Amino acid sequence: MGCECSKLASCCWDGQNGPVHEAKNPDDEEKDEVSDLPTFREFTLEQLRIATSGFAVENIVSEHGEKAPNVVYKGKLENQRRVAVKRFNRSAWPDSRQFLEEARSVGSLRNSRLANLLGCCCEGDERLLVAEFMPNETLAKHLFHWETQPMKWAMRLRVALYLGQALEYCTSKGRALYHDLNAYRILFDEEGDPRLSCFGLMKNSRDGKSYSTNLAFTPPEYLRTGRITPESVMYSFGTLLLDLLSGKHIPPSHALDLIKDRNLQMLTDSCLEGQFSSDDGTELVRIASRCLQYEPRERPNPKSLVAALFPLQKETEVPSHVLMGISRNSETMSLSPLGEACLRMDLTAIHEILEKLGYKDDEGAATELSFQMWTNQMQETLNSKKKGDAAFRHKDAKAAVECYTQFIDVGTMVSPTVYARRSLSYLMSDMPQEALNDAVQAQVISPVWHIASYLQAASLFAMGRENEAQIALKEGSVLEEKKNTTS
């Protein structure tokens, strides 16, 4: 453990019953509640279907993908706000009134340490939650499956503190229960700051039995009663402290045996060597051990945890994204020719690129043209598209809109490229709202198509919605980069 591992092993633990000393927290006032978030609202299923491009597989962000009982999707609302949408198993919440009450209660919370709940949807047997989207993965990803660099000691301590502050805030607002607290529930925002997912504040099922992790990690009282208490949450906090210390998901019973045997080298992440002192390691192990007490009443509460973790913080002046080695959206992005054209609102350049691309990115719509036998109506539909293409080629925006509309209204074939071309034609006709609607529809059909995002950006720039346009532009740039990387 660190540069003084042997010293720590000899002095770490002098007994299981010492109190967690409450150090004075200079920032003891409550964290400011987030004020720039919209109030909690109810969404329609159609709104969330559009936001997630029809609950597209490409937008799933759940750790277990489609096999998860409750699937989480990334999405984008009409105002370009990025969201995470959790779609529950249809048997999870049979009582719609209970679901709405729970969601509204969680949705009343607003704090910078949470990935806050923005809304919900309750239609028929569908139950969905809508939360802030956190773009920089989970703690599990950064701690257990890192690719470029292991998480630094200072960042691990920050995660522990911020998590403690999140739980302290929720407790102060009457939401002390958190279901299945684990490393997958901690997410990182654009700044690299850790946030606690609001989804865990709502139970996952009607009977409240929400622990999905291996039983070796569940609180002892949960195994006896099948119910969690605020003290159960503290036990799970202890397992997370062990995760942060070891860089592995070690069963608490095994970790406590190592602590009793003073075998802390086996407990500590070798990647942390030289990053912390014996005293700091001793204190973190002691706090974890207190959280993992068998008797619930002997575990600390969130307030005392925060007070104990605060003095351990290191490199407090260094931003989280620097410690994490991740880039922020606000940093300069390099744009492709299409991205640059949308930023400049150069409709001629956009037209040239779309015309050159043709129907290359359509998933089968263009191949429909090779079939020889058509009904009269189908032939008319295809003729409308051909006329639209000819008008688009000659920059006759009005005629292009009319012809593409005839093709789209029949609804026999779906083509994202047709929507993209009509979107640009609307922009050429000074109809930015219609252009935005078509660009969104193109993305519903093809969720990872960068051109749809770019055209949304151009439409938003035309409407004077600068901030939202920049978000769409960034999204288009990221999608285009991913496409170029994979191809």
Q: Please, what is the end-to-end C-alpha distance for the chain in angstroms?
A: 44
Name the percent of the chain in helix, strand, coil, to the closest 5: 50, 10, 40
Cβ-contact 62, 52 below 8 angstroms:
no
Q: Which residues are catalytic?
A: 180
Q: At what angle do helices 230-246 and 278-291 cross, to 10 degrees?
A: 150
**In this structure, what token pair is assigned to residue 445?**
């059909």
Tokens of 392: 């688009």
Check if the beta carbon of residue 356 is closer than 8 Å to that of residue 364.
no
**307 φ, ψ (degrees, to nearest 5):** -65, -35
3-state secondary structure of 121: strand
Q: 285, 245 in Cβ contact below 8 A? A: yes
**Spatial strand order in the sheet of 71-76:** 41-42, 117-123, 126-132, 82-87, 71-76
CA 4 – CA 273 distance, rounded (Å): 9
Residue matched to tokens 């301590």: 157
For 85, 318, 326, 475, the CA distances from 135, given in Å and listed in that order, are 13, 20, 11, 11
CA-to-CA distance for 335 and 233, rounded, in angstroms? 45
Instruction: Fill in the DSSP letter of residue 250.
Output: -
- Residue 23 in 3-state DSSP? coil
